[in-house]
């Protein structure tokens, strides 16, 4: 059962293990001729890209080519930036993301986001998960407790924090905070997880833990990850899209199966970037 068809607060909350596995080359997000401007300045132009369900898609490219802006447009976080303008079309699991009548709160529940710097609420570990669950209609105390435990187990945090659930989340290590943020997104049973350089602020060990968790999401969630770490993209991505700044704005240069992008790219820019000769 999926969020989009159930009534908030009544659906059975279940763990990652129990979610249906689906990694098929079937588009879940279809972006057509998407452009984004900050004021008069274009961040990216005319991006057309299909993102497959249940797969991990890595967005790569040099700084400033519009990767973060593209990611943020998918759950309309860009609405929050004054002067920011989107045009084109985004369909997400049948939903017209940019339609004025689209419920943005529901959209953001379906499309969770993890940022470069872990951003837990300045609340207890428990409240970091309880707060969004309550906001989205889950009130029953037992179900709240079970869902919080399941969420923390799904990110391998339960055993580390079960005895201090009421301690401040900000007292956790950076890697633990990032896993908590992942749990906070996952307990809402999103369809899509957007991750903006989720490992880049972490030490190598914590980064490896997050990377393993991302791999474990394959088949359960549609994942888009922005990364500057090409080795990481090679290791974890099913599909890869290269962005580049051309003619004063970000452009999608090439997208396809990660193996093809890294081993047999069609575009010379892709070849230069993945070989480390440019960017």
Tell me whether residue 73 or residue 128 sits nearer to ligand ATP (CB atom).
73
Instruction: State in angstroms the smallest separation of the CB of 250 from ligand ATP.
Output: 6
81 binds ligand ATP (CB under 6 A): yes
CA distance 229 to 209: 15
Instruction: State in angstroms the smallest separation of the CB of 49 from ligand ATP.
Output: 15
79 binds ligand ATP (CB under 6 A): no
Instruction: State in angstroms the smallest separation of the CB of 195 from ligand ATP.
Output: 12
Number of residues near ligand ATP (by CB under 6 A):
12
Neighbours of 104 (CB within 10 A): 13
Q: Which of 60, 65, 157, 189 is in the footprint of ligand ATP by CB under 6 A?
A: 65
DSSP codes joined into one string, the chain: --GGGS-TTTSPP--GGGSPP---S-EEEEEEEEEEEETTEEEEEEEEEEEETT-EEEEE-STTSSHHHHHHHHTTGGGGSTTEEEEEEEEETTEETT-TTS-HHHHHHHEEEE-SS----SSBHHHHHHHHHHHTT---HHHHHHHHHHHHHHTT-HHHHTT-TTSBGGGS-HHHHHHHHHHHHHTT--SEEEEESTTTTS-HHHHHHHHHHHHHHBTTBEEEEE-S-HHHHHHH-SEEEEEEEETTEEEEEEEEEHHHHHHS-SSHHHHHHHTTS--
Q: Which of 45, 67, 109, 110 is in the footprint of ligand ATP by CB under 6 A?
A: 67
Across-strand partners of 188? none
63 binds ligand ATP (CB under 6 A): yes
Q: Which of 3, 38, 121, 131 is in the footprint of ligand ATP by CB under 6 A?
A: 38
The interface region with ligand ATP, picked from 60-68, 123-131, 152-160, 203-211 by CB under 6 A, is: 60-68
CA distance 121 to 131: 9
Tell me whether residue 64 or residue 168 sits nearer to ligand ATP (CB atom).
64
The interface region with ligand ATP, picked from 18-26, 66-74, 98-106, 127-135 by CB under 6 A, is: 66-74
Binding mask 93-132 for ligand ATP (x = CB under 6 A): ----------------------------------------
- The interface with ligand ATP within residues 230-259 (CB under 6 A) comprises 250
69 binds ligand ATP (CB under 6 A): yes
Instruction: State in angstroms the smallest separation of the CB of 74 from ligand ATP.
Output: 13
Which residues form the interface with ligand ATP (CB under 6 A)?
38, 43, 61, 63-69, 81, 250
């Amino acid at each position: 059962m999926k969020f989009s068809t159930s009534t908030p607060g009544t659906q059975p909350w279940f763990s990652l293990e129990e979610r249906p596995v689906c990694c098929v080359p079937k588009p879940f997000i279809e972006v057509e001729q998407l452009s984004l401007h900050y004021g008069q300045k274009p961040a990216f132009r005319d991006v057309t890209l299909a993102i497959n369900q249940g797969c991990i898609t890595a967005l790569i490219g040099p700084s400033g080519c519009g990767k973060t802006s593209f990611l943020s447009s998918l759950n309309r976080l860009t609405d929050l930036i004054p002067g920011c303008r989107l045009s084109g079309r985004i369909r997400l699991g049948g939903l017209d993301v940019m339609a004025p009548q689209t419920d943005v709160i529901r959209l953001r529940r379906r499309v969770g986001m993890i940022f470069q710097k872990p951003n837990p609420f300045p609340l207890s570990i428990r409240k970091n998960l309880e707060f969004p669950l309550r906001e989205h209609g889950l009130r029953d105390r037992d179900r709240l407790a079970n869902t919080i435990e399941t969420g923390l187990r799904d990110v391998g945090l339960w055993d580390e924090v079960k005895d201090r659930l009421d301690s401040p989340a900000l007292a956790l290590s950076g890697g633990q905070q990032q896993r908590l943020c992942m749990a906070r997104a996952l307990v809402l049973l999103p369809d899509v997880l957007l991750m903006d350089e989720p490992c880049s602020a972490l030490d190598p060990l914590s980064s490896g833990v997050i990377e393993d968790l991302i791999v474990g999401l394959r088949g359960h969630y549609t994942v888009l990850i922005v990364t500057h770490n090409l080795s990481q993209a090679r290791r974890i991505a099913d599909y890869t899209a290269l962005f580049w700044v051309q003619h004063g704005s970000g452009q999608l240069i090439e997208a396809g199966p990660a193996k093809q992008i890294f081993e047999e790219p069609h575009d010379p820019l892709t070849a230069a970037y993945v070989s480390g000769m440019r960017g």
